[in-house]
Structure 1
Amino acid sequence: MQEEREILIVKAGRQTPFSRGVLAQTLSQAGARSELAYQIAGEIRAELIAEEIFTVEEEEVIARVREKLVKKDAMVVGRLDKWRILRESTEPIVVLIGGATGVGTSTLAADVARRLNIQSVIGTDSIREVLRRAVSPDLLPALHKSSYAIPPEDIRVTVEGEDTTLLGFRVQASQVAVGIEALVDRGLKEGTNLVIEGVHLVPENVMEKYRSHPNVCSIVVYLSDEAAHRSRFYVRALGTAMRRPAEEYISHFKEIRKIHDYIVRSAHRTGVKTVENLSIENTSDAAVEIVANRVSGIAETAVKRPSLLFDAGEPSASESP
């Protein structure tokens, strides 16, 4: 039996073997359904072999992809174009994903980072932990409590008629904001792509500061259904190997929902985009589209990286070339 010849993709003097896995991964990251992505990748490989094309320009592969997407899922075509601009741009992108405890900011951040090929994902809880090591509880007691369980005596500054849960949360968020802003500013200065997620990204605080910055995109995640929000804590507890039992969150669920509603109202007041996280796939699609619409203008005029399929990642062991 004759061995099947290898197909080479070329661009700007570089070449790489054609891989259905890499092409399918590229399409999936751009928003195509996984089964459709693998179907298109397989069809294109079969066509190239049938036409005896064993060296092909990357743009030719993308043109064939677009032609098939127009017929099979036209909505993905626009996403693919914007996603390519983001992936190939050298402009730094900082994505801020805020939302109350339990709505899924960390899961969304990881998926958005994967799809945009962003290597650095930082949670505001991690930033808070670093600050806790640097600042004693005597100096900033609110910093050393959970965001939803700060007692009135740790707030130190009270406002008559103010809800103590929200006041305590805002005090802690303003303290953590120092670390968040340092990371964002450094990322922008050094040209580093970042995704930062967590409850401390308050729209009227950190997100407002970067509202007019073209390289920063802010998103708030929410869950309007309280029952759905409550159930997420049991999933979260399993995902973190029971380091923090769900019951601890449930016992403070009233306070968490107060913070949730405050963050959403704050987003509406400041014009920050909001996304309901009912399904991670749909939420991730929406988030990537928000990022693309926000920063595609600067990305289009930036210096381009040399390739898309060359740097899209490697297929897993189960994905044959």
Structure 2
Amino acid sequence: MEEREITIVKGGRQTPFSRGILAQTLAQAGAGPELAHQIASEVRAELAAEQRFTVEEEEVLARVREKLVKKDAIAVGRLDKWRILRESSEPVVVLIGGATGVGTSTLAADVARRLNIQSVVGTDSIREVLRHAISPDLLPILHKSSYEIKRQDVRVPVEEEEAVLFGFREQAARVSVGVEAIVERGLKEGTNLVVEGVHLVPEIIPRRFLDHPNVCTLVVHLQNENVHRSRFYIRAMGTAMRRPAEEYISHFQQIRQIHDYIVESAGRAGVDAVENLSIENTSDEVVEIVANRVSGIAERAERKASPLLMGANTPRRGVPLTRTKRG
């Protein structure tokens, strides 16, 4: 026998009940996939048994919370904060910094998916634009990978062992000009975006962004050097890397210098540092950090009229941006 359609109502708008969309909503809020599908099926079955074929979205979510609190109380808090983020009319900007190989790009994509943010920008892409505008003769450090900078590229007296960090800071400062422009425009136009990359050094990011309630800044790290090193081989197997893993490994000491500097910079700037041992757990932690950061302004803001359960793929404002490969 064919199931009768159940209609979800919110703010005068209607949409068919979908177990898939409800389960995806729960999963994006941090519930496990199996639990999310179980709760979605149970809610749908209860409504059908009660012959409730037209129901307010708030009632559906109340039933979800009642079941979720018994099985994953932590996920309930995440769901509430995630709903605020999803429904808020306030722009949200997430800045994720971290050294090459720690997983900022993978994490940024997952966080953007969880928060339904369509714009993800890599600082490598910003650097690539600057490379086309500024010649290597004028600014050689811009045309090198962050970990490949040598003393002769810096053009000021500096010891060889200090050249990598000195050059990296110079490169990050140049790229930060482009980051500032993108973030400023996002805040001005109400565009939600995630920016990720090695150049997002907390002490180089303008203080007005670190203090801005709509901007959440954090860095990702890997404390264990062996785990960090292994990530390059894993990435080489799973993706079509422009460079072989051995090239990164040959510069691993320089990459770790930059890694440690970024983490230390986060500590001095009062920015959260998250260890990325598991993308699922790290993404949960980052979404919670973002929710805690912006929930205050989101709660005071006027909420959108679109239903939360209309579809997790309905994008928040923003236009997808093309990203270059990391290097």
Whether TM exceeds 0.5 here: the answer is yes
Query: Which AA in structure 2 matches 1:69?
Result: L
How far is the alpha carbon of 1:240 from its aligned partner?
A: 3.3
1:254–1:162 Cα change, 3 Å: closer
How far is the alpha carbon of 1:206 from its aligned partner?
A: 1.3
**Cα distance between partner residues in 1 of 2:139 and 2:160:** 23
For structure 2, which runs of at least 5 residues remain unmatched after alignment? 315-327
1:224-282 residue CA offsets vs partner (Å, 9 max, x unmatched): 01111001001222343132110110000000001000000010011000100000010
1:262–1:209 Cα change, 3 Å: farther
Percent identity at matched positions?
75
**Cα distance between partner residues in 1 of 2:121 and 2:161:** 31
Partner SS for 2:35: helix
Partner SS for 1:15: strand
**Corresponding residue number in structure 1 for 2:310:** 310
How far is the alpha carbon of 1:153 from its aligned partner?
A: 1.2
- Please state if 1:298 is matched with 2:291: no
2:219–2:274 contact (8 Å) kept in structure 1: yes
Aligned residues: 313
**Cα distance between partner residues in 2 of 1:293 and 1:234:** 35
1:142–1:150 contact (8 Å) kept in structure 2: yes
**Cα distance between partner residues in 1 of 2:259 and 2:206:** 16
Query: Which AA in structure 2 matches 1:8?
Result: T
**Cα distance between partner residues in 2 of 1:124 and 1:176:** 7
**Cα distance between partner residues in 1 of 2:264 and 2:256:** 12
2:151–2:159 contact (8 Å) kept in structure 1: no
2:151–2:160 contact (8 Å) kept in structure 1: no
Partner SS for 1:163: helix
**Corresponding residue number in structure 2 for 1:70:** 69
Task: Please identify runs of 4+ aligned residues in structure 1 that moved more than 4 A.
Answer: 159-162
**Corresponding residue number in structure 1 for 2:317:** none
Query: Which AA in structure 1 matches 2:109?
Result: A
Partner SS for 2:30: coil
**Cα distance between partner residues in 2 of 1:158 and 1:265:** 24
In the TM superposition, 1:25-174 aligns within 5 A as 25-159=24-158, 163-174=162-173
Root mean square deviation, CA, Å? 1.3
**Cα distance between partner residues in 2 of 1:28 and 1:207:** 34
1:185-230 residue CA offsets vs partner (Å, 9 max, x unmatched): 1111111001000000001001644111111000100000111100
How far is the alpha carbon of 1:160 from its aligned partner?
A: 6.3
1:24–1:38 contact (8 Å) kept in structure 2: yes
2:21–2:311 contact (8 Å) kept in structure 1: no
**Cα distance between partner residues in 2 of 1:280 and 1:90:** 28
**Corresponding residue number in structure 2 for 1:16:** 15
Partner SS for 1:285: helix
Query: Which AA in structure 2 matches 1:175?
Result: R
How far is the alpha carbon of 1:151 from its aligned partner?
A: 1.2
**Cα distance between partner residues in 2 of 1:157 and 1:174:** 16
**Cα distance between partner residues in 2 of 1:176 and 1:258:** 19
Query: Which AA in structure 1 matches 2:255?
Result: I
2:7–2:15 contact (8 Å) kept in structure 1: yes
**Cα distance between partner residues in 2 of 1:160 and 1:246:** 28
**Corresponding residue number in structure 2 for 1:318:** none
2:217–2:272 contact (8 Å) kept in structure 1: yes
How far is the alpha carbon of 1:122 from its aligned partner?
A: 0.5
**Cα distance between partner residues in 1 of 2:241 and 2:282:** 26
1:98–1:202 contact (8 Å) kept in structure 2: yes
**Cα distance between partner residues in 2 of 1:161 and 1:235:** 31
Query: Which AA in structure 2 matches 1:310?
Result: M
**Corresponding residue number in structure 1 for 2:176:** 177
1:87-131 residue CA offsets vs partner (Å, 9 max, x unmatched): 000100100000000000001100100011100001001111111
**Corresponding residue number in structure 2 for 1:267:** 266
Query: Which AA in structure 1 matches 2:231?
Result: R
**Corresponding residue number in structure 2 for 1:235:** 234
1:237–1:243 contact (8 Å) kept in structure 2: no
**Cα distance between partner residues in 1 of 2:283 and 2:206:** 20
Query: Which AA in structure 1 matches 2:144?
Result: K
1:97–1:220 contact (8 Å) kept in structure 2: yes
**Cα distance between partner residues in 1 of 2:160 and 2:276:** 32
**Cα distance between partner residues in 2 of 1:208 and 1:240:** 36
Partner SS for 2:55: strand
How far is the alpha carbon of 1:312 from its aligned partner?
A: 1.9
